[in-house]
Amino acid sequence: MPLKEKNIILGICGGIAAYKSADLISKLTKMGANVHVVMTKSAIKFITPLTLETLSGNRVFTNLFPPPKGDPLVHVDLADKADIIVVAPATANTLGKFAHGIADNLLSTLILATQAPILICPAMNTNMWQNEIVKANVQRLKDMGFYFVEPEWGELACGVEGYGRLAEVETIVEEIKTILSSKDLAGQKVLVTAGSTQEPLDPVRFLSNPSSGKMGYAMAKVARRRGAEVTLITGPTTLTPPRGVRVLGVKTALEMKNTVLDNFEDASIIVKAAAVSDFRPQRFFNKKVKKTPGKMEIGLKRNPDILKELGKKKGNRILVGFAAETHDIIKHAQKKLKEKNVDLMVVNPIGIPGAGFGSDTNMVKILDRKGDIVELPLMTKEKVAEEIWDKVVEIIRSG
Ligand code: CTP
């Protein structure tokens, strides 16, 4: 995983959003990272070093002087050990210092001394964020290769609504993972389908399935993290689309098929994680179907098998299919792999607690064309996605 045993130096500046750094530290350490906190003088007025020391399990640094006796120089030591420096929240004042090479405290000195990538997450009042001086400083830093997670819209501590709120902690974590991930999918154009399809019967009813879209979204997120250009074709879900991914929303299997075919030519890898409805109501009623006494019958029509169609015209593209099975899992998955002409078939058993529809975890087997089977234990869908992409990278490398 991208954060395991990574040294993350977290710079915290003085702003009301400083309290959110506690959540950030706790999430990063849970993912296996080593977090070393550096606070500016004004940050200490918003949150105590003791809180952050307890959460990170590491000493919190606040001062450049006096240099600790017997220890290496703090700014050089931290600068060298950093895999990444994250500044969250970053104030307009600190941004200005970074942009102009001013080194008057530990954090700004560290920025000059490090070779590690630097991610800045600003938070400030809307007028300050939109001030031309701040804008120019941000642009200058971007041009010099600093990464940014820009502030979001929301209610600010000063009582107004606008841009300036520190980005969500999840967004910051995802950007850290992206920066630290190996870019082994760089240059790849990935098309992912996710979620269920809805096949309408009348204006208020449809035929569907409980797919949440989580597996497909995880595939899209991890592919983007590893450097791919990603298009996500998604059925209706409640999920937030991953950052940096082009998202195309669809409802029915026919819409999904058309959108996939429109984007297929350009793609080098296609991942069909969507749970496509195999059938649709034979006819659509323009008006709500009213209750009538006696039996009610609905005729169904077959939907096209999108994956099978792609398998016929895949050329050199890598095709990844998914299947959920209740019995004879391997046998059914092998049959689908051959019939649909895919390179990898990812199969999960139905009925195992914590696996499959709606869950955050999954337990899958990954089958390839050579007959190899990777059997994975129950793990988060994000980890499953990492494993699947590892297999895809193996296929790419083997030519
Ligand atoms: N799939 C598809 N179009 C369909 C049905 C399925 O593209 N109309 C794709 C899914 O996205 C998935 C794979 O085919 O990647 C396997 O889906 P699954 O429903 O398990 O397979 P089916 O072929 O529908 O087989 P069955 O329902 O008989 O098990």
For tokens 């083997």, the residue is 398
CATH code for the domain of 193: 3.40.50.10300
CB of 213 closer than 6 A to ligand 1?
no
Average pLDDT in the 27-41 region? 97
The answer to the question of residue 290 being in a domain is no
Q: Read off the pLDDT of each residue in 342-363 and give the average, rounded to a whole number.
A: 88
* Number of domains forming the structure of the chain: 2
Instruction: Say if ligand 1 is within 6 A of residue 305 CB.
Output: yes
Express each pLDDT in 113-133 by its tens digit. Answer: 999 999 999 999 999 999 999
322 pocket-lining for ligand 1 (C-beta < 6 Å): yes
pLDDT for position 192: 98
Residue 241 preceded by cis peptide, ω within 30: no
pLDDT for 68 equals 67
* Mutational pocket test of ligand 1: of 199, 272, 338, the residue with most ligand atoms within 8 Å of the beta carbon: 272
Chain Cα centroid distance, residue 342:
25
Does 193 share its domain with 146? no
Kindly state whether residue 284 falls inside one of the protein's structural domains: no
What average pLDDT score do residues 166-191 get? 97
Kindly list the strands in the beta sheet with 118-122, ordered across the sheet, starting from the edge strand earlier in the chain: 34-39, 7-12, 84-90, 118-122, 147-148
Q: Does the structure show a pLDDT above 70 at 70?
A: no
**Residue 1 covered by a domain:** no
Beta bridge partners of 345: 321, 367
**Nearest ligand 1 atom to alpha carbon 336:** 23
Q: Is the pLDDT of residue 303 over 70?
A: yes
> Which atom of ligand 1 is the closest one to the Cα of 342?
15
Does 91 score more than 90 pLDDT? yes
Residue nearest to ligand 1 atom 9, measured at CA: 307
Domain identity same for 127 and 25: yes
CB-based burial of residue 134 (10 Å sphere; 0-12 exposed, 13-18 middle, 19+ buried)?
buried
Residue 385: pLDDT band by 50, 70, 90 thresholds? very high
- Residue 102, classified by CB atoms within 10 Å of its CB into exposed (0-12), middle (13-18) or buried (19+), is middle
We report the CATH number of the domain holding residue 129 as 3.40.50.1950
- Mean pLDDT for the chain overall: 94
Is the per-residue pLDDT at 139 higher than 70?
yes
Predicted local distance difference test score (pLDDT) of residue 16:
94
Give the pLDDT band (50/70/90) at residue 63: confident
pLDDT of 74 reads: 80
Q: Ligand 1 in contact with 321 (CB < 6 A)?
A: yes
Residues in Cβ contact with 394 at an 8 Å cutoff, skipping those fewer than 6 apart: none
d(CA 263, CA 337): 22
Is there a domain that residue 54 lies in? Answer: yes
Residues classed as catalytic:
158
Beta bridge partners of 299: none
Element spanning 346, H or E: strand 344-349
Query: Which of 340, 207, 350, 339 has its CA nearest to residue 279?
Result: 207
- Per-residue exposure over 186-219, b if at least 16 CB sit within 10 Å of its own CB, e if not: eebbbbbbbbbbbbbbeeeebbbeebbbbbbbbb
Please say if the pLDDT value at position 356 is more than 80.
no
